[in-house]
Amino acid sequence: MSPAHSHTFRPFRIAVLASGRGSNLAALIAARAAGRLPVELVGVFSDRAGAGALEIARAHGIPALALSPKDSADRTAFDESLFSRIAAVQPDLIVCAGYMRLISEAAVRRFAGRMINIHPSLLPKYPGLHTHARAIAAGEREHGASVHYVIPALDAGPVIAQARVPVLDGDTPETLAGRVLEREHPLLVASVRWIAEGRVRQAGAAVALDGRPLPAPLLLGPDQELHPPCESSTA
């Protein structure tokens, strides 16, 4: 009998960190319910008691907790209390989905290689806030979203996958954000699935796919699935 037979199957455990509305969390929940995401959602955490994400979690029976930064002396103390609550649910992966607070270096290091973020731009372009307005102001013809591993520097970790959308004449930050958000959901679901399946992992400053460094981020196709960059190249 192979050793695998003596192990009980343990589903991949996801914790989600969110400050706002929670549409990316809802996409993960829906994908799981549809059998397209073999993970367990073990907790949703927020820095805002009023976050829509918490309500969505509770409606689906997922443990949800908000901690107020005002109750901690500083960022390090806040993150210590937040991330020890997160550690208590034993996540294999922490997904930051609209978490609007900088994370202390200690917390990032504690979960190195086990924390990802979804950011609404084609990183390394437009880290930080107001990405849609900045892309329009710069005259970009293309914009999008990125899923990346979290490192101490803001929005600067190795990029796993991206979804690209056109910028159209007459776009406002709101119309462009809507077009990007529609692609964020399948992008996040597929990225989490590839990590849960063990295909994608962080390898230092790079991302490894099936054990080999990825030369460029995976791309979300019209089929809502990720594709290695070379597959979509015409060269």
**Residues at the interface with ligand GRF (CB under 6 A):** 18, 20-24, 97-98, 118-120, 145, 181, 184
Q: Is 119 a catalytic residue?
A: yes
Asked whether residue 168 is marked as a ligand-binding residue, the answer is no
The minimum distance between CB 10 and ligand GRF, in angstroms, equals 27
Nearer to ligand GRF, 98 or 217 (CB): 98
Give alpha helix (H) positions in the chain.
23-33, 52-59, 75-88, 105-110, 131-137, 173-196
Whichever of 120 and 217 has its CB closer to ligand GRF, that residue is 120
24 labeled part of a ligand binding site: yes
From the list 175, 186, 21, 180, the residue with the least C-alpha distance to 97 is: 21
20: which 2 tokens? 């706002």
Q: Write down the catalytic residue from 119, 143, 148, 185.
A: 119
CB of 24 or CB of 202, closer to ligand GRF: 24
Q: Per the annotation, does 188 bind a ligand?
A: no
Closest CA to 28 of 192, 197, 225: 192
DSSP 113: T
Cα-Cα end-to-end distance for the chain: 48
Is 102 annotated in a binding site? The answer is yes
Output the known binding site: 22-24, 75, 100-103, 117
> Which positions are annotated as active-site residues?
119
